[in-house]
């Protein structure tokens, strides 16, 4: 049996590269520890998961992550129900994905991290905690580093297992030191451009790293360059 979060031992590919799963065969075969598909709205999960199901038996060395996004016009009071819809869909397609990530880092979603919507976020986390048991896989939340440092206790209480921390360009890995994540896994994304950066991120407290822009520049050579 593989250990929990086994995919964090190797660099992962962040969401945003493939939102529909059309490149799944290509991306899953490159040697990343994980490939995150999305972010995708709950309504679009079934076709994505159906497409990924065809790749699952052939690709066992790379974990499949699903990034769940939010409609830009979602009423704040509906945040919890939207997350529940995503969890329910993942549960129906059991065995396809290895983890689910709730994306609060996208520009349209960061409004839920503002003080004015703190009540809506608290209510959504309570709903998440009530149904977390129905999702038989690790649950991550992707959010900026300063919000991760502030919210990790509430996220942990809601059943979140991993924080995917978006590092600010002007601070970089130093932002990880402010995220006291307790028992949560930390995955750093942003500013990773070399194998030395990967090692530095792990030394700063990251359990894993993800890349996006580096892959856009280096393509299939990315895993080998980050392991050099």
β-strand pairing of 162-166 with 139-144:
parallel
pLDDT (average), residues 114-133: 95
The answer to pTM > 0.85 is yes
Token reading at 157: 């209480």
Topology of domain 6-227 in CATH is TIM Barrel (3.20.20)
Contact 179, 205 (CB under 8 A): yes
Contact 200, 167 (CB under 8 A): no
pLDDT in tens, 130-169: 999 888 899 999 999 889 988 999 999 999 999 999 988 7
Indicate the pLDDT class of residue 181, thresholds 50, 70 and 90. low
Coil, strand, or helix at residue 163? strand
pLDDT score of 185 more than 70: yes
Phi, psi of 97 (to 5 degrees): -100, 155
156 sits in which H/E element: helix 145-157
Q: Where are the domains of the chain?
A: 6-227
């Amino acid at each position: 049996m593989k250990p929990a979060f086994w995919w964090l031992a190797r660099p992962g590919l962040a969401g945003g590269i493939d939102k529909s799963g059309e490149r799944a065969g290509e991306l899953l075969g490159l040697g990343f520890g994980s490939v995150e598909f999305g972010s995708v709205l709950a309504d679009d999960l079934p076709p994505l998961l159906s497409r990924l199901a065809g790749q699952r038996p052939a690709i066992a060395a790379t974990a499949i992550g699903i990034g769940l996004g939010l409609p830009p016009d979602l009423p704040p009071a509906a945040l919890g129900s939207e997350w529940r819809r995503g969890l329910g869909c993942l549960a129906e397609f059991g065995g396809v994905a290895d983890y689910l990530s709730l994306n609060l880092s996208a520009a349209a979603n960061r409004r839920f991290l503002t003080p004015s919507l703190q009540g809506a976020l608290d209510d959504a986390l309570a709903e998440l905690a009530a149904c977390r048991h129905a999702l038989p896989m690790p649950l991550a939340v992707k959010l900026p580093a300063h919000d991760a440092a502030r919210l990790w206790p509430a996220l942990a209480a809601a059943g979140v297992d991993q924080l995917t921390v978006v590092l600010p360009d002007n601070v970089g890995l130093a932002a990880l030191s402010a995220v006291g994540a307790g028992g949560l896994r930390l995955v750093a994304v942003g500013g990773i451009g070399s194998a030395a950066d990967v090692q530095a991120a792990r030394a700063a407290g990251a359990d894993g790293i993800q890349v996006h822009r580096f892959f856009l520049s280096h393509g299939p050579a990315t895993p080998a360059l980050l392991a050099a």
